[in-house]
Structure 1
Amino acid sequence: METREATPAHFLIKIESFSLLEKCGIDKYETKVFAAGEYNWRLIIYPNGDNTVGEDCDYVSVHLAMADTSSILPANFEVNVVFSIFLFDQISDNYLPSLGITRRFHGMKSEWGFSKFISKEILLDPSNGYLVDDKCVFGAEVFVIKKEAVTECLYLKDVDIPYKHDFKISNFSKLQAAWESEKISAGDQDWYYIFIIKGNGKGAGRSVSIFLHSAAPPMSLLLPPNPSHRVSCRMRWKALTRKLQ
């Protein structure tokens, strides 16, 4: 199992008479409150395991719980955190961490943890260094995930029949710069095409360039532009050839 030297960032608790918890019938110990990520928390230690693993089990369970949820936080609160629980190895002077897990704390579920944090067999063996002279140290790190994500919505409109438009350009060979089509409607949007006769960009001088433009409705000219409003489309062109008589 991997260990680390750094002390847990947010909380430590030293239990000096661990065996007395069981002798005194203490099945659940709640630590004092500590702060992390603008919220209050506490560790809950179950010397004989929590309810999910049954009574008199062979594991010690350790949970993280939010404190003062009824008096401070709103009824619909929701906090997402990444947290780890630690156990101090007093021989190697290192900490044994749990795998960091991500959980959502809210009014219906304000406590999460590890039902099988460590087996009693490993904990009670003095050669492992976790329980020495009936003393052990637990720790915790809690990192709150702030809601700063950028959101995006993709709306795809089902179109059964593709839109088809035919254009006839008279005297094409006499055009010098560009030709602009009349306005067309497709997919609840107004559009128009621009033909660059002598090409544009990499096609300059070698090809005819064709661009599709969105024609904004008159009302939109009175409103500020919305950078999150995007319309996706696909177009296909086919040039018809005609034999000269």
Structure 2
Amino acid sequence: MDAQNDVNRGEFTWKISNFSKQNAKRVYSEVFRVSGCRWRILVCPKGSKNSTNYLSLYVGVPDSSTLPNGWSRKAEFSLSVIDQINDVRSIRKDAQHDYHARESDWGFTSFIPLTELHDRTGGYLVNDTLVIKAEVCLLAVTPIKPVRPADFDSYFTGLKELINADETHGASVGSSSRHRDGALTAEVPSLEEVEKAKQSLKECLSDLFKLNMKERLSEALSTLSMARTGVSSEQKITIETFRANFDDFTSDFLTFEQDNAEFELQNLQKDQLFSAMKKCHETHLLYKQLMEDLTKEDEEVKRKAAEVKSKRDKLLSDWEILWDESEEAKSGYEDKQKEVAEAEEKKRIAEERMSRSTTAWSNLKAQFC
């Protein structure tokens, strides 16, 4: 998000790589915030059912199903498809909408003809990347405060079910790595240089994730690919196969490392919120026991009715404070659950991409180790 002088206004730029290969009917951007409210962009790459020849673009509320009943917000917004060659040709459209549960997405069914979007002479798709910009100005929000339950016990029973459900699932944490881009040599290597490169290659294949290992691997592959002696034809083929996709393979490892680190961070934050929620539930059990004890005392000692009533009022007051704290922890936890799920999905995709690189790496390693 770009900083704005108006706290109710914000911008978000979304770059979609490999756009022409998007097969999903709907593609959503990551969530961004404007004035404390969550938003996202929705694009239909092949057009919507009402307009199959046009790109469809919308601004939506991602958490509409979890917002309290009766929520609404009014916003002005604009959507732009950026011409990355000539910004003057960028297309922008403006709208205003009252968002609510039945209309949580709003925008333009026919934003730009698909033929114009995919025209190679234009600048809307550069290197198969589409750039979309959204500007949102929040005009009004209907404040909805959750209604406290009449029965505290029923509320915390639901909270306990949420805690128990989460405790039955675990999350695994993957390994991480660090590497940098390398440089390729251009001279025909000597036999001594070839042997040195082969030794370097063996060391690289032993641990690709070590610092500077990508650079050494790149140099070794470059040297061996130009070698005229000391390398068999089968080794040459394996080297050229790996080298032809070198940037993609090493990028897959780096992408996995970054996405895995993001997953670990999101999961840690989720665990912290879970601990707060669990602590609230444990305190609830203590309060529940205190309430039962006070009820017995009230039945057994009628003469202390006034004293018991005072204690009960104080306990209920504290209980409401606890409810506020618990509701805040629960809301944050549920939001974090979604972010963890998104991070986990990114990690899964990175793992699938890394599998391809690992296979190529293993084929190469089999030739030298």
How does the TM-score come out when normalised to structure 1? 0.51
Is the CA contact (8 Å cut-off) linking 1:87 and 1:138 kept in structure 2?
A: yes
- The equivalent residue for 1:216 is none
Question: Per-residue displacement from partner, 1:65-122 (whole Å, max 9, x unpaired)?
Answer: 1021222x32101111111111111112457243311111001111111101111111
SS at match of 1:26: coil
- Aligned-pair identity in percent equals 31
- The equivalent residue for 2:20 is 19
Trace 1:57-206 onto structure 2 (pairs within 5 A).
57-71=52-66, 73-94=67-88, 96-146=90-140
* Cα gap change, 1:129 to 1:9, in 2 (>3 Å): farther
More helix by share: 2
- Say whether residues 1:10 and 2:4 are aligned partners: no
- Say whether residues 1:49 and 2:11 are aligned partners: no
Q: CA deviation at 1:31?
A: 1.1
SS at match of 1:126: coil
SS at match of 1:89: coil
Opposite residue 11 of structure 1, the aligned amino acid is F
CA distance in structure 2 between the partners assigned to 1:36 and 1:45 by the alignment: 20
CA distance in structure 2 between the partners assigned to 1:103 and 1:93 by the alignment: 27
* Cα gap change, 1:13 to 1:43, in 2 (>3 Å): same
Tell me the C-alpha RMSD between the 2 structures. Answer: 1.9
More strand by share: 1
* Cα gap change, 1:101 to 1:127, in 2 (>3 Å): same
* Cα gap change, 1:95 to 1:137, in 2 (>3 Å): farther
SS at match of 2:121: helix
SS at match of 1:121: helix
Question: Per-residue displacement from partner, 1:196-243 (whole Å, max 9, x unpaired)?
Answer: xxxxxxxxxxxxxxxxxxxxxxxxxxxxxxxxxxxxxxxxxxxxxxxx
CA distance in structure 1 between the partners assigned to 2:72 and 2:55 by the alignment: 28
Opposite residue 82 of structure 1, the aligned amino acid is E
SS at match of 1:100: strand
Question: In structure 1, which of residues 23, 37, 40 is the aligned counterpart of residue 38 of structure 2?
Answer: 40
* Cα gap change, 1:17 to 1:67, in 2 (>3 Å): same
Is the CA contact (8 Å cut-off) linking 1:10 and 1:35 kept in structure 2?
A: no
Runs of 4+, deviation exceeding 3 Å:
none
Opposite residue 134 of structure 1, the aligned amino acid is D
Q: CA deviation at 1:26?
A: 1.4
Q: CA deviation at 1:51?
A: 2.6
CA distance in structure 1 between the partners assigned to 2:89 and 2:68 by the alignment: 36
Aligned residue pairs: how many?
A: 133
Quick check: which has more Rg, 1 or 2? 1
Trace 1:217-228 onto structure 2 (pairs within 5 A).
none
* Cα gap change, 1:135 to 1:124, in 2 (>3 Å): same
* Cα gap change, 1:40 to 1:94, in 2 (>3 Å): farther
Opposite residue 94 of structure 2, the aligned amino acid is G
SS at match of 2:76: strand
CA distance in structure 2 between the partners assigned to 1:136 and 1:93 by the alignment: 13
Q: CA deviation at 1:45?
A: 0.7
SS at match of 2:15: strand
CA distance in structure 2 between the partners assigned to 1:131 and 1:95 by the alignment: 13
Is the CA contact (8 Å cut-off) linking 1:59 and 1:115 kept in structure 2?
A: yes
List runs of 5+ in structure 2 lacking aligned partners.
1-8, 142-369
- The equivalent residue for 1:172 is none
List runs of 5+ in structure 1 lacking aligned partners.
1-7, 148-245
Opposite residue 56 of structure 2, the aligned amino acid is S
Q: CA deviation at 1:39?
A: 0.8
